[in-house]
Amino acid sequence: MTNPLASQAPATGEPLLEVDDLRTHFDTLSGPARSVDGVSYTVRAGQTLGVVGESGCGKSVTALSILRLLPTPPARISGAVRLRGTDLLRLSEREMRHIRGNRISMIFQEPMTSLNPVLTVGRQIAETVQLHQKLGRAEALQRATDMLRVVQIPEPERRVNEYPHQLSGGMRQRVMIALALACNPEVLIADEPTTALDVTIQAQILELIRRLQKERGMGVVMITHDLGVVAETCDRVVVMYAGRKVEEASVLDLFDRPLHPYTRALMASMPSMNTRSARLTEIPGLVPSPQEPRRGCAFAARCSHAEARCRGEVPQLTAQGQDHVVACFAVEEGRIESAPEGAAAA
């Protein structure tokens, strides 16, 4: 059998996707909602970049903005999103249709709502291949069967003719991966790819994405709120809060030396096998609404290190070691030490 992913992989470490000062604001009756407010990051070939934060921090809106899948209006997207130097925000809609699903693909959170319930899974994969790869119908269906085999769905010749409701949750997620990878994309965006799956299936899905990335040399953006997934799968991590990037570092550096109070609070709220405490640490308060006026640090109201400056000025990202940046006055002024003993604390 010919491996449908056996195309020439890009050189490891080569910049593939560059997001530069991305802003996504929604016009509402009560004023603009700043869902993404100046986010920048780079995804390299063979690298997995984790994007973490609570619900409402702008992780998924960032991904949808990259692919230009938001209605405009009410969404207003600015900044730059460069795929190998080509700014996707400057392309026409017709040109973007050749990018989506072809050079950049996305695995959505809910496969049952993302897959068409009245088409077989094989036909859905085949249609994507026919559109972007210009294959005939029979050849495209064969590619669909091959892709189901690649993502380790048993009996792919039979499953290719089944509908989404006939498959388990884990199989539907594998179909979503097959659909996303059918055209050999350079960049894969995985938005909470293991949500609502049991632990065993989660591990299989993550291992599958890692294996296929290694074979293809793709850049992967892993959007998640699960720091365990980040630790297991990612090379670098971007921490988002209220539409902004508050910290970025290598995964080893971030877990060994978390600096931003929000990053520390996230880590302190993780269950641990090493603690005997029956109660987890919680982060007080809520993520501010994107419609709230922006004065100072968005995390100040929930931060035990906040001072008057934090409430009046917006902290900018500053270097705190090699390839480690953080936006926090307390870190900048030395009011937060390098890292607490053993683990992060809010």
pLDDT tens digit string along 185-200?
Answer: 999 999 988 776 778 8
Signed CA dihedral, 245, 247, 250, 254: sign only: negative
* Number of helices (H), then strands (E), in the chain: 13, 12
User: Residue 330 CB: number of other CB atoms within 10 A?
Assistant: 21
Query: For residues 256, 259, 263 and 266, what is the CA-based torsion angle, rounded to 10 degrees?
Result: 60
Residue 345 has pLDDT above 70, yes or no: no
257 phi and psi angles, rounded to 5 deg:
-140, 60
Where is average pLDDT lowest: 28-37, 284-293, 318-327, 334-343? Answer: 334-343
Would you state the pLDDT for residue 338?
62
Instruction: List the single range of 112-126, 164-178, 194-208, 227-241 with lowest mean pLDDT.
Output: 194-208
Alpha carbon distances (Å) from 108 to 172, 177, 188, 222? 11, 9, 11, 11
As given in the structure block, the two tokens for residue 158 are 């039979």
In a domain, 325, yes or no: yes
Q: Which residue would you say has higher pLDDT here, 77 or 341?
A: 77
Q: What's the confidence (pLDDT) of residue 292?
A: 85
Residue 262 included in any domain: yes
Q: Does residue 311 lie within any of the structural domains?
A: yes
Q: Is residue 313 part of a domain?
A: yes
Q: How many domains does the chain have?
A: 1
For the whole model, what pTM was predicted? 0.88
Query: What is the per-residue pLDDT for 11?
Result: 55
Q: How confident is the model at residue 110 (pLDDT cuts 50, 70, 90)?
A: confident
**Order of strands, sheet of 104-107, starting from the edge strand that comes earlier in the sequence:** 104-107, 187-191, 219-224, 48-52, 236-241, 244-250, 325-326, 318-319
Residue 137 forms part of a structural domain:
no
Is pLDDT of 138 > 50?
A: yes
First-to-last CA distance in the chain?
A: 53
Q: Is residue 282 part of a domain?
A: no
Average pLDDT rounded to a whole number, residues 212-239: 91
Q: Which of 61-75, 163-177, 195-209 has the lowest mean pLDDT?
A: 195-209
Checking if the pLDDT of 302 tops 80, the result is yes
Please say whether the beta carbons of 30 and 76 come within 8 A: no
What pLDDT was estimated at residue 22? 97
**Mean pLDDT over the full length of the chain:** 87
Residue 342 lies in domain: 257-271+294-346
| Residue 285 confidence (pLDDT) | 86
The whole-angstrom separation of Cα 143 and Cα 346 is 50
Note the pLDDT of residue 26.
94
Do 220 and 190 form a contact (C-beta atoms < 8 A)? yes
What CA–CA distance (Å, rounded) separates 214 from 113? 29
Residue 343 belongs to a domain: yes
* 3-state secondary structure at position 119: coil
Cα–Cα nearest to 66, from 79, 55, 54, 53: 79
Q: What is the pLDDT of residue 10?
A: 53
DSSP 8-state code for residue 210? H
**In this structure, is residue 338 part of a structural domain?**
yes
**Given a cut of 70, is residue 178 above it in pLDDT?**
yes
